[in-house]
Amino acid sequence: MKRLLLLFFALALLVIVPFLIWGKHFEHSMTPEDTVARMRAAGAWAWLVGVALLVMDLFLPILGTVVMSALGLVYGWVLGGIIGSLGSIAAGLLAYGLCYRLGRRAARFVAGEEGLREGERLFHGELGGWLVALSRWMPVLPEVVACLAGISRMPLRRFFPALCAGSIPMGFVFARIGEAGEHQPGLALLLSAGLPPLIWGLFRAFYRQRAKRGESGGEVALKSDFSPSLTKKACGKKGFLIQTASGSGIITPKKAVEAGKDIRIQ
């Protein structure tokens, strides 16, 4: 875990340094009033300005919550919430995609193979989705966690719903704050923090049901006493021959991930 923490702090440093250099400038230039004025000056393209600012938050110290609030003031909380959510989701997908494709080599240099394996165990398991969903309303963490998920090859079909579970409530809550002009939005912020785990928990329940139905389709069930005796005897591109206490059969890597197990080919 020490190697993975080293990688986490290295990514966090990349996010924090721009704040230390340009944070004050952006804080002064991105007041709610100025942000709303810039969006209105863009006319019909105000929504694109909002989305672009939220995506740029990946590289620059953009005040994302101010942008979402401004979208709520310009478009109302419903449409503004949709646009803000889409911008936050786009930023998360960009961070995930860039690190999925390009970040593995640098991560290996920082954390080594051991650190990468630790990340894979974390983000391929149950905890990975919770980390993605809960990180969206925290400072610094959204970019770092999305990058770690990409580096760790977290399956997109698990990453994307978790990203939506965290981004959509935040987008709508801050759009509502902007539309209402609230200055002490305690209840709204509480909802922004509380809805992501609720939504992700409901999704996980649905996900488990699908996994159970898949297990009953004739493939070997992965039980708690699972002790794989795997070889590189791959059964074509369809899967791998697996021996378990309950028998033998063929299982695809995709199905193994769906069942929440860490399958290693020895």
Cα angle, residue 252 at apex, residues 247 and 255 outer, rounded to 5°: 90
Of the candidate ranges 42-46, 91-95, 154-158, 258-262, the one whose mean pLDDT is the lowest: 258-262
Cα angle for residues 13, 17, 18 (degrees, 5° grid)? 135
The answer to whether the predicted template modeling score (pTM) of the entire model surpasses 0.85 is no
Is the per-residue pLDDT at 217 higher than 50? Answer: no
**For residue 101, how many other CB atoms are within 10 A of its CB?**
9
The count of other CB atoms within 10 Å of the CB of residue 71 is 34
- One-letter amino acid of 128: G
pLDDT tens digit sequence for 186-198:
555 555 455 556 6
Amino acid in position 70 = A
Please tell me the predicted confidence (pLDDT) of residue 98: 93
Q: Residues 247-264: pLDDT tens digits? A: 444 455 555 444 444 444
Mean pLDDT, all residues of the chain: 75
Structural domain spans, the chain: 2-214, 218-258
Q: Per residue in 130-167, pLDDT tens? A: 889 888 877 778 889 999 999 999 999 889 999 998 89
What integer is the mean pLDDT of 34-63?
91
